[in-house]
Amino acid sequence: MQRIFSGIQPSGIPTLGNYLGAIRNWVALQADHDCIYCVVDLHAITVWQEPKLLVQQTRELAASIIACGIDPARSILFHQSAVPEHAELAWIFNCVARLGWLNRMTQFKDKAGKDRENASAGLYVYPNLMAADILAYHATRVPVGDDQRQHLELANDIAQKFNHDYGVEFFPVIEALILGPAARVMSLRDGTKKMSKSDPSDQSRINLNDSADTIAQKIRRARTDPEPLPTEPAGLAGRAEARNLVGIYAALADTDEEDVLRLHGGKGFSSFKEELAALLVESLGPIAQKTRDLLSEPDHIDQVLHEGAARAASICRPIVSKTKQIVGFLPT
């Protein structure tokens, strides 16, 4: 069975983008993979996080992941900081990755913005920690949204350089699993920007804990153009907002753009938006309810994460220990 690893940052409430681009695929992969899912708190602090909020968001995210259908008895679910091997292997990878490689990372450029001198050093080496997350488990398949493609290419470059420099066949090749018609969900206010937990405008995203009324209101106000929906996918060219709403609909209805346009092509946005909102409420309503139920027992969530961390550590400890031996560290 192939091993899956994926992660998500506890930097806010998970969004529809996280759900359709990642978590929903994680759930499906549980059926025939050995899965490890991680709440990546070490990654979250590459930008400022209020400590009290970070604790709360870590628990809430874990509850939300379980509510989406991750079964902690079958898959491993844990928080990254509980397994120190991640940070340890990341340091070794800091010494393998080249500055030239990191300089090409578009996410760093986006997140650091204009004031690059003031970005944390952690934000710069963020992809090395992500490579360590995956390779510490010798995981071979990584389900992510489209925005993580470049980071996974870098992880493969690190694995190959390590193997080459030390003359070993130790780290495997990683395959990115970028699945479904909504691997890149865009902001509801601007079809050229991705939907993000950290966007200052709450109207730009659907949060997994939004009420039915809030979902309907956000979809009603979502930016669109004045034309009706086209009857085939070619007609979505140059219409980023329309494409986004059609992609979301297709993902939720388990179909594709073509099929959605066969049914809804020619309609104006107001009726399409109503149907889309109904579909969203039907899919996300039960998840929000289950998350609330789970959060009424925070100790249970903490226990799930701690048990997950112990299982995760038992897999990665021998791999990181072997890595240290390959590098030439004296055994402890």
Binding site for ligand AMP (CB under 6 A): 8-9, 17-18, 21-22, 144-145, 147-148, 183-185, 194-195, 197
Nearer of residues 43 and 184 to ligand TRP, judged by Cβ: 43
- Contact of residue 207 among ligand TRP, ligand AMP, none (CB under 5-8 Å per partner type): none
**40 makes contact with ligand TRP (CB under 6 A):** yes
Displacement of CA 148 from its chain's centroid (Å):
8
Catalytic member of 114, 194, 273, 322: 194
**39 makes contact with ligand TRP (CB under 6 A):** no
Strand partners, 318: none
Using Cβ positions, the residue closest to ligand TRP within the complex turns out to be 7
Q: Of these, 142, 195, 215, 261, which contacts ligand TRP (CB under 6 A)?
A: 142
Active-site residue flag, 197:
yes
Cβ burial 120-148 (10 Å sphere, 16+ → b, else e): eeebbbbbbbbbbbbbbbbbebbbbbebb
Binding region for ligand TRP (CB under 6 A) out of 5-13, 62-70, 117-125, 249-257: 5-13
Q: Which amino acid, one-letter code, is at 130?
A: M
Six-digit token string for 330: 């004296």
Question: Could you please report the per-residue DSSP string of 27-70?
Answer: HHHTTTSEEEEEE-HHHHTTS---HHHHHHHHHHHHHHHHHHT-
**23 makes contact with ligand TRP (CB under 6 A):** no
CB of 89 to ligand AMP, least distance (A): 20
Residues contacting 273, CB < 8 A, separation 6+: 219, 220, 222, 224, 245
What is residue 217's three-state secondary structure?
A: helix
Q: Of these, 4, 7, 264, 276, which contacts ligand TRP (CB under 6 A)?
A: 7
Please tell me the count of residues contacting ligand TRP according to CB under 6 A.
14
- Report the C-alpha gap between 210 and 208 in whole angstroms: 6
Q: Whole-angstrom distance between the N-terminal and C-terminal Cα of the chain?
A: 32
Six-digit token string for 297: 């027992």
Binding region for ligand TRP (CB under 6 A) out of 2-10, 218-226, 230-238, 276-284: 2-10
- Contact of residue 134 among ligand TRP, ligand AMP, none (CB under 5-8 Å per partner type): ligand TRP
Nearer of residues 8 and 287 to ligand AMP, judged by Cβ: 8
E strand residue ranges, the chain: 3-8, 34-39, 76-79, 141-143, 175-177
Alpha helices in 253-297 (DSSP H): 257-264, 269-295
DSSP annotation of 15 reads: B
Cβ burial 102-119 (10 Å sphere, 16+ → b, else e): beebeebeebbeeeeeeb
Nearer of residues 8 and 45 to ligand AMP, judged by Cβ: 8
Binding region for ligand TRP (CB under 6 A) out of 6-14, 55-63, 70-78, 216-224: 6-14
Displacement of CA 23 from its chain's centroid (Å):
7
CB of 144 to ligand TRP, least distance (A): 5
CB of 40 to ligand AMP, least distance (A): 7
**148 makes contact with ligand TRP (CB under 6 A):** yes
**243 makes contact with ligand TRP (CB under 6 A):** no
Active-site residue flag, 194:
yes
Catalytic member of 52, 109, 161, 197: 197
- Residues with active-site annotation: 111, 194, 197
List of residues contacting ligand TRP (CB under 6 A): 5-9, 40, 43, 130, 133-134, 142, 144, 148, 151
